[in-house]
A and B are shown apart, each in its own frame.
Chain A
Amino acid sequence: MIAEKIIRSFIWTAGWLVVVAGGGLRAHADPVARNRDSRSALLDQTERSVLEASVPEPLEANDWRTISIVKPGKETSGLSTSGSGIRFFFRLRVDRLITAAQLRLCTTDKKGGAVDIEVVLNGCTVDRIELIAGQVEVLALDPSLFSDDNVLVLRRPGADPCEPAGNELLLALKTSELELQQSALPIANDVALLPLPFLDPRVEEPTTIQVVFLGERTLEMVRAAGLVAAYFGLQGGSRLRFVVFFDELPNGNAVVIAAGKSELTHGLIEGEGPTVRLVDHPNGADDAAKLLVIGAAMPGELLAVAQRFAAGNITRGGVLPGNRSEYLPYESPRWVKNDKAIRLSDLTAGNDLVLEGTGRATQVVSFRLAPDLFAELTQSIPLVVDYRVSVPPGAPLPELMVELNHHIIGRLTVPGPEQRSMLQRARFAIHPSQLSGYNELCLHAEFSPDGRGCELLRPVVSRVVIEGSTVLHVEKLHHFAVMPDVKLFVYDGFPFTRFADLRETAVLLAPQPRPAEIGLLLSVLAHVSAVTGELPKRAVFANSSSTYEKAGRDRDLLVISSGPWHPWLRSHADELPFTYTPGGLVPRRPWRPGVLLNYLTGFAAFVQLPQARRFAQTVSPVLGVAGVESPWATDRSTILLLATENSQVPALVDAMGHAEASLAGGDLLIAGAARRGTFVLGPRTTWGALPLWRKGRWFFSTHWLLLVPMLVVPALFLVRRSARVLELLAKRRLQLPRRRQS
């Protein structure tokens, strides 16, 4: 055992040495075009410190970013129709400068003829164009009109503002895209500006962060990187991708995790103490590119530095983690507890929600719940909305609608004039399927449903106040889920997120983890931190088969592998719902007793394997997230992240997060470049506890094929027994009286 450890350590160290000696520290020189005028102009704006700096990523001068406004069959966030036009709200990163922009419009040819459209950007009328059906029109936009928060309005010129033509226009537009050419603005070398230049928390967009490991690679270094990744996860939401480099500096912004003093870390680690600094990229070709250096001259100190940085003990920008020493299950800082009813005031820091205006208004409240909250199909979750409506004389009655996670829950009735001063109460029943780990409760008000509001000569503002006493009753829901479930993992990081600090998580890495594997791990940790609001500071890491069991006992396992060489995969190959072939991942059914139960879940179970194989053949390259029961505890899960190279990481990371299309539960997620699918191939178990009766109902509702014999067999038995009894009764009724018989 000891010999094996020594050999493994030797291999690990030798591997690193080969990489370092062979490649050294390479800096990719790739000059970036910059808009120096813009940069100078922005540098003058000293009141906005975030704009005093430089470009984070290598942006090509001719790189165009496309923002889709209207796309057939897709809902675009920020898009709304109002009056005679379409209103599109979008944000741009504060450290980006628009150098060129154009609007691409195309109308459907359903009605034929031309459509006149007036384009207004941030209040300035840009142009008026005539769209010919089926033809694409491109309109150049003045870059100086763009700001951080932007509103683009497309409207019919001269149309009656009271005429609700917005929907018509939306239908007329086949596609509409905004194409922007951006350049990065340099920022100062100040960690207080973090998470810039890596990401802007205001802007929801997929972001890639490069991480460079310099120095001797150990588990401590991986843990340190994990904490830094978690920091970014806390700042930037879920859609972060991490790409890892060993001992080479890529172009653009990068996080450098450096340990020990060597030629590699020279100039990056200051003195003998820990280093946390933002520095210019040394390649000199890109003066906007920055390196965030987290380093320690003494390798043993690296983890402590990363912890202090991520926890906010070292001054840096961005939000702080929860930073509690002990967490109870489901007690994440970003999760709303379900041990009592959730009041709106709990989600809005005690404030009421106010909607007012003459047109449309929407208020959105987002919140996270434990993702394993169980409600039966027939169980409804009560939502009681307390509200007040104030409608000035002469103003039209507003239409009020409640929406949860894009499901319309119901309408709020507007009381009669004499009752308007009183608190109104509306009760809604939410179907369990409408609730998830991440939730958005939207309250929409249409203050001028018939357009009459436009006719009023003076502004008359109606007002709706949703009181903080509005309550969602989740307190009676149990924690219960079928595990392993890759859907719960990719959306909510479950089961690892059950403890905010990942106390019951063991990360099992290969002895010599590859960059792709570490990149995946960092992406997962960032995702998990975005979900919980806490750092994964209690997660246990192991990278040798001898320590796997010790680390993994009584914990949920996270196994990250980019090939069949991972020892854990080799030793549990029979239990996995996939197998590695030279062509990649191939789904398979692990024949274990529990699999038979799958066939009771419906006819789909019989075709899951061929479907999964067909799906795997159609997507390329094949990546996967698989779930199996932990070999060391019956109620624990093992989640396996399977990739083969760095380039595949984005596709796998894209499978995570609520922004993506809805996934079904399963134990195998197959992801390709553009498609994902989940399948149930292996045995499943359950997590959590339900009262026996509920658990029975749950079991039979999920294994519903059992219901057929459960109905037919007892019915036959009862019928036979009843028939016998009835025959006896009938015979007795027709028996001659005793006198006659004698």
Chain B
Amino acid sequence: MKKAKLLQTPSITFAGGIARAVRLLAMVIAVVTLTLVVLTPLGLREQVSLSGMLFLVALVVTRSRHRLSTLMLMVMAITVSARYLAWRISATMSVESLDLMLSAAMLFAELYAFLILVLGYFQISRPIVRKPLALPADLRDWPAVDVFIPTYNESLEVVRATILAAQTLDWPQDKLHIFVLDDGNREDFQHFANDVGVGYFSRRDNRGAKAGNINAALARTNAPFVAVFDCDHIPTRSFLQLTMGWLVEDDRLAMVQTPHHFYSPDPLERNLRIFKTCPNEGELFYGLIQPGNDLWNAVFFCGSCAVIRRAALVDVGGIAEETVTEDAHTALRMHRRGWRTAFLGVRQAGGLATESLSGHIRQRVRWARGMVQILRVDNPLFGPGLTWPQRLCYLNGLLYFLSGLPRLIFLTAPLGFLLLNAHIFAAEPVMVLAYALPHLTFTLMATSRIQGSFRRSFWGELYETVLSAYIVLPTILALINPRLGRFNVTAKGGLITTSYFDWRIALPFLVLFGLNLTGIAAGLWAASTGRQQLDSVLINVGWATYNLIILSVAIAAAFERQQRRRHARIVLRLPAMVERSYGNTVACELSDLSLSGASLGHAGNEIERGEELHLTLRLGEESLPMPARVVSTKAGILRLELATLSPERERFLVRALFCRADNWIRWADERRLDQPVRSFLDISLCGLRGLIQLVVNSTTSNSTISRRYT
């Protein structure tokens, strides 16, 4: 028998080798064939017919929700886009100086977009849905964890909920060490830390900014794991239980990152009134890109809501201080050293979004600058330790922030023809349509299919447009000299007391809007007088009109809306009780809750405005009454303002509000999937509203223009 096996083994191995070779050969042939498809030039009629047939194939493919059909759409989109680019390079480059310059600029932007598209498809080709791993049954096997809450200039009001929530983490108390890392060196923080019983570290200087702050704390602590929360990121009680399982079981796992969830609307969501109805900018990253990175062991550290193995941090010399995006840089270093990282896509912390568009842009500019710094000082394409997939994932993450210049090129490209009479495409206008429209259509179809749950079609262009004018210079400067610039802290917990239009931040959008509008007028005039070919004009006018739509939404985003509440209300459906001063108790249901107020339904009609009462919340077996005052009783909804609470009550409120394990899991579950046409209509309506607001705002008094931000 053994002999027979021995005899069989080589033949089986040989057969396996043959099969592998055949598969490899087939793949090579497939790639060569697709390359042929890409590089085969066609005339107008043939190109239109081919695109039509492929479109029909794509329609059939999209009917299936299978993962294979998603991959098929990706391959088709890449092939059709590559066909467009091959044609673009080989047949449309102008040779005259101005045309050539503009044509080359446009080509650069297109190549950039294609590279990002391909890298993006690679990155998210198979997102990992990682589930929490159970911890050892014996609590003695649970490791100690240091929880770091770095802060610099944020108010205690913002930070205290995070500290209190950290204390409620379900972890053996003797193994849980919470530290406030106060780089602001503030007494009230120290007093509060002492009062609630958490550690407090401060430094004489702020060297290394946030990274230096954490590194300083690392030197003074010793638990094998470190959980990091930005000071406004309030963890749920289950955070460590859900994340630590993987770290305990895998010695080479350096970090588990969870999503950054924001329970308050970011400026775009608030100003465009799309909070919860439309995915915000970050959802694509945490919903799709990080799970995609997980497949390739390339999950980035995002600076907060993550647990890191101390040994890995020590191995890479602590948190990286050379760049202003210390988080991604640290992850890169860990990957270089062979550590693994993982992403757990369960929202286990809630934070505050930036309040104003200017703050939002400032934060993104820092990210962009930091990522470009990494590109310069620690380029993932080079250097040891990374696998090729990791290099490509990092490259995509870093290159994404160079989108400013390409986006500006796209926003101004039609002006080359409409205003300067330059021909960016040295080709017949119908040919441009025949090649470009399939490229755009297939990209849209594939992207909508892949990102449908996390980003609506055309909103990506908006996010890039909003940032484009502001990140161009910092990224170019960072490319030239990566040492330039300092870490800037993102302002959180502020309040916009009066609505206003931020002219300063909207200025680039207004200028670009004006230019595109002028271009359209000039083009139509040239066509009507016969100075330009109508078809060329129509194509460029269409393009400029699309730019106008995107720019008008960017302008609309600069209308900062008044925030009525200091603390964001969170929708909660919890049983509660209202205990009136004379002892009468009313059972009711909590509609929403914040750190300073609550809304209740079914509370009865006899309660009057201004009445002092107690709101009793129930968490499992625990319940605690909180003093409150009735501020409104309209439509059967009782609105309460909570009085100043004791630390014990405040901790209880924080637990009720932020720390339940399922707090953020069902967030915006009812959102529909992306539908490109509807999305385009939505974004167009947003833009229209923005323009109407602009006109109305321009005609109102100057008092509304002044900025109100605290």
**Closest CB in chain B relative to A482 CB, distance in Å:** 14
**Would you call A722 an interface residue if the criterion is a C-beta within 8 Å of the partner chain's C-beta atoms?**
yes
Given A429-B426, A726-B295, A737-B249, CB of A710 within 8 Å of CB of B33? yes
**Would you call B45 an interface residue if the criterion is a C-beta within 8 Å of the partner chain's C-beta atoms?**
yes
Interface-located stretch among A190-198, A460-468, A727-735? A727-735
**Closest CB in chain A relative to B46 CB, distance in Å:** 5
Residue of B nearest to A704 (CB): B46
Task: State whether A718 touches B75 (Cβ < 8 A).
Answer: yes
Task: State whether A719 touches B46 (Cβ < 8 A).
Answer: no
Given A426-B96, A602-B45, A718-B30, CB of A730 within 8 Å of CB of B295? yes
Q: Among the listed B31, B50, B72, which residue makes an inter-chain contact with A704, where contact means beta carbons less than 8 Å apart?
A: B50
* B128: chain A residues within 8 A (beta carbon): 730, 733-734
Task: State whether B76 touches A710 (Cβ < 8 A).
Answer: no
Task: State whether A380 touches B31 (Cβ < 8 A).
Answer: no
Residue of B nearest to A700 (CB): B40
CA distance A10 to B410 in the complex (A): 82
* A380: chain B residues within 8 A (beta carbon): 91
CA distance A267 to B160 in the complex (A): 129
Task: State whether B50 touches A701 (Cβ < 8 A).
Answer: no
* B72: chain A residues within 8 A (beta carbon): 715-716, 719
Task: State whether B41 touches A701 (Cβ < 8 A).
Answer: yes
* B249: chain A residues within 8 A (beta carbon): 736-737, 739-740
- Per-residue B-contact encoding for A657-675, CB less than 8 Å = 1, 0 else: 0000000000000000000
Task: State whether A410 touches B96 (Cβ < 8 A).
Answer: yes
CA distance A603 to B27 in the complex (A): 31
* A603: chain B residues within 8 A (beta carbon): 49
**Would you call A328 an interface residue if the criterion is a C-beta within 8 Å of the partner chain's C-beta atoms?**
no
CA distance A715 to B53 in the complex (A): 15
Given A377-B43, A377-B91, CB of A726 within 8 Å of CB of B125? yes
**Would you call B377 an interface residue if the criterion is a C-beta within 8 Å of the partner chain's C-beta atoms?**
no
Task: State whether B133 touches A726 (Cβ < 8 A).
Answer: no
Residue of A nearest to B245 (CB): A740
**Would you call B170 an interface residue if the criterion is a C-beta within 8 Å of the partner chain's C-beta atoms?**
no
* B118: chain A residues within 8 A (beta carbon): none
Given A710-B36, A711-B54, CB of A736 within 8 Å of CB of B125? no
**Would you call B26 an interface residue if the criterion is a C-beta within 8 Å of the partner chain's C-beta atoms?**
yes
* B336: chain A residues within 8 A (beta carbon): none
**Closest CB in chain A relative to B344 CB, distance in Å:** 12
Task: State whether B79 touches A715 (Cβ < 8 A).
Answer: yes
Task: State whether B68 touches A714 (Cβ < 8 A).
Answer: no
Task: State whether B49 touches A726 (Cβ < 8 A).
Answer: no
**Would you call B71 an interface residue if the criterion is a C-beta within 8 Å of the partner chain's C-beta atoms?**
yes
Task: State whether B39 touches A697 (Cβ < 8 A).
Answer: yes
- Per-residue A-contact encoding for B203-243, CB less than 8 Å = 1, 0 else: 00000000000000000000000000000000000000000
**Would you call A720 an interface residue if the criterion is a C-beta within 8 Å of the partner chain's C-beta atoms?**
yes
Task: State whether A711 touches B37 (Cβ < 8 A).
Answer: yes
CA distance A377 to B86 in the complex (A): 12
**Would you call B694 an interface residue if the criterion is a C-beta within 8 Å of the partner chain's C-beta atoms?**
no
Q: Among the listed B42, B67, B94, which residue makes an inter-chain contact with A701, where contact means beta carbons less than 8 Å apart?
A: B42
**Would you call A707 an interface residue if the criterion is a C-beta within 8 Å of the partner chain's C-beta atoms?**
yes
Task: State whether B27 touches A718 (Cβ < 8 A).
Answer: yes
Question: Which of B37, B96, B128, B130 has the most chain A CB atoms closer than 10 A to its own CB?
Answer: B37
* B297: chain A residues within 8 A (beta carbon): 733
**Would you call A708 an interface residue if the criterion is a C-beta within 8 Å of the partner chain's C-beta atoms?**
yes
CA distance A739 to B57 in the complex (A): 48
Task: State whether B42 touches A711 (Cβ < 8 A).
Answer: no
Task: State whether A714 touches B95 (Cβ < 8 A).
Answer: no
Q: Say which size band chain A's interface belongs to.
A: 35 or more
**Would you call A723 an interface residue if the criterion is a C-beta within 8 Å of the partner chain's C-beta atoms?**
yes
Residue of A nearest to B130 (CB): A734
* A712: chain B residues within 8 A (beta carbon): 57
* B79: chain A residues within 8 A (beta carbon): 711, 715
Task: State whether A729 touches B126 (Cβ < 8 A).
Answer: yes
Residue of A nearest to B44 (CB): A377
CA distance A737 to B246 in the complex (A): 9
CA distance A426 to B99 in the complex (A): 12
Q: Among the listed A426, A722, A739, which residue makes an inter-chain contact with B71, where contact means beta carbons less than 8 Å apart?
A: A722
- Per-residue B-contact encoding for A686-728, CB less than 8 Å = 1, 0 else: 0000000000110011001001101111111111111100110
* A696: chain B residues within 8 A (beta carbon): 36
Q: Among the listed B26, B54, B71, B295, which residue makes an inter-chain contact with A729, where contact means beta carbons less than 8 Å apart?
A: B295
Q: Among the listed A377, A410, A723, which residue makes an inter-chain contact with B41, where contact means beta carbons less than 8 Å apart?
A: A377
- Per-residue A-contact encoding for B85-110, CB less than 8 Å = 1, 0 else: 01100110111100000000000000
- Per-residue B-contact encoding for A497-530, CB less than 8 Å = 1, 0 else: 0000000000000000000000000000000000
CA distance A714 to B426 in the complex (A): 32
CA distance A424 to B480 in the complex (A): 37
**Would you call B294 an interface residue if the criterion is a C-beta within 8 Å of the partner chain's C-beta atoms?**
yes
Chain B 493-549 interface residues, beta-carbon cutoff 8 Å to A:
none
**Closest CB in chain B relative to A555 CB, distance in Å:** 33
**Closest CB in chain B relative to A712 CB, distance in Å:** 6
Task: State whether B34 touches A708 (Cβ < 8 A).
Answer: no
CA distance A429 to B93 in the complex (A): 9
Q: Among the listed A377, A410, A708, A714, which residue makes an inter-chain contact with B54, where contact means beta carbons less than 8 Å apart?
A: A708
Given A382-B95, A700-B40, CB of A721 within 8 Å of CB of B426? no
- Per-residue A-contact encoding for B56-96, CB less than 8 Å = 1, 0 else: 01000000000110011001100100000011001101111
Task: State whether A719 touches B68 (Cβ < 8 A).
Answer: yes
**Closest CB in chain B relative to A550 CB, distance in Å:** 42
**Would you call B251 an interface residue if the criterion is a C-beta within 8 Å of the partner chain's C-beta atoms?**
yes
* A428: chain B residues within 8 A (beta carbon): 95-96
**Would you call A66 an interface residue if the criterion is a C-beta within 8 Å of the partner chain's C-beta atoms?**
no
Task: State whether B40 touches A697 (Cβ < 8 A).
Answer: yes
**Closest CB in chain B relative to A629 CB, distance in Å:** 25
* B86: chain A residues within 8 A (beta carbon): 378
CA distance A43 to B696 in the complex (A): 91
Q: Among the listed B26, B43, B67, B251, which residue makes an inter-chain contact with A723, where contact means beta carbons less than 8 Å apart?
A: B67
**Would you call B250 an interface residue if the criterion is a C-beta within 8 Å of the partner chain's C-beta atoms?**
yes
* A711: chain B residues within 8 A (beta carbon): 34, 37, 54, 76, 79
**Closest CB in chain A relative to B260 CB, distance in Å:** 22
Residue of A nearest to B35 (CB): A714
Task: State whether B50 touches A707 (Cβ < 8 A).
Answer: yes
Q: Among the listed B34, B94, B126, which residue makes an inter-chain contact with A726, where contact means beta carbons less than 8 Å apart?
A: B126
CA distance A427 to B99 in the complex (A): 12
CA distance A720 to B67 in the complex (A): 10
**Would you call B672 an interface residue if the criterion is a C-beta within 8 Å of the partner chain's C-beta atoms?**
no
**Would you call B23 an interface residue if the criterion is a C-beta within 8 Å of the partner chain's C-beta atoms?**
yes
**Would you call B420 an interface residue if the criterion is a C-beta within 8 Å of the partner chain's C-beta atoms?**
no
**Would you call B29 an interface residue if the criterion is a C-beta within 8 Å of the partner chain's C-beta atoms?**
yes
* A148: chain B residues within 8 A (beta carbon): none
**Would you call A379 an interface residue if the criterion is a C-beta within 8 Å of the partner chain's C-beta atoms?**
yes
**Would you call A574 an interface residue if the criterion is a C-beta within 8 Å of the partner chain's C-beta atoms?**
no
CA distance A719 to B53 in the complex (A): 20
Task: State whether B26 touches A717 (Cβ < 8 A).
Answer: yes
* A718: chain B residues within 8 A (beta carbon): 27, 30-31, 34, 75
**Closest CB in chain B relative to A387 CB, distance in Å:** 14
Kindly list the 7 A-B residue pairs having the minimum CB-CB distance in the complex, ordered from nearest.
A714-B30, A378-B91, A726-B126, A378-B90, A377-B41, A378-B41, A715-B75
**Interchain Cβ contacts under 8 Å between A and B, 19 examples:** A376-B41, A377-B43, A379-B90, A428-B95, A602-B49, A697-B41, A701-B43, A708-B54, A710-B36, A714-B34, A715-B72, A717-B27, A719-B75, A722-B71, A723-B68, A723-B126, A730-B128, A734-B128, A736-B249
Contacts A715-B34, A719-B72 aside, 17 further interface pairs with beta carbons under 8 A come to A376-B41, A378-B90, A428-B95, A700-B37, A701-B42, A707-B37, A711-B37, A712-B57, A713-B30, A714-B33, A718-B30, A718-B34, A720-B68, A723-B71, A727-B126, A729-B295, A734-B130
**B contact residues vs A (CB 8 Å cutoff):** 23, 26-27, 29-31, 33-34, 36-37, 39-43, 45-46, 49-50, 53-54, 57, 67-68, 71-72, 75-76, 79, 86-87, 90-91, 93-96, 125-126, 128, 130, 133, 249-251, 294-295, 297, 426
**A contact residues vs B (CB 8 Å cutoff):** 376-380, 382, 410, 426-429, 602-603, 696-697, 700-701, 704, 707-708, 710-723, 726-727, 729-730, 733-734, 736-737, 739-740
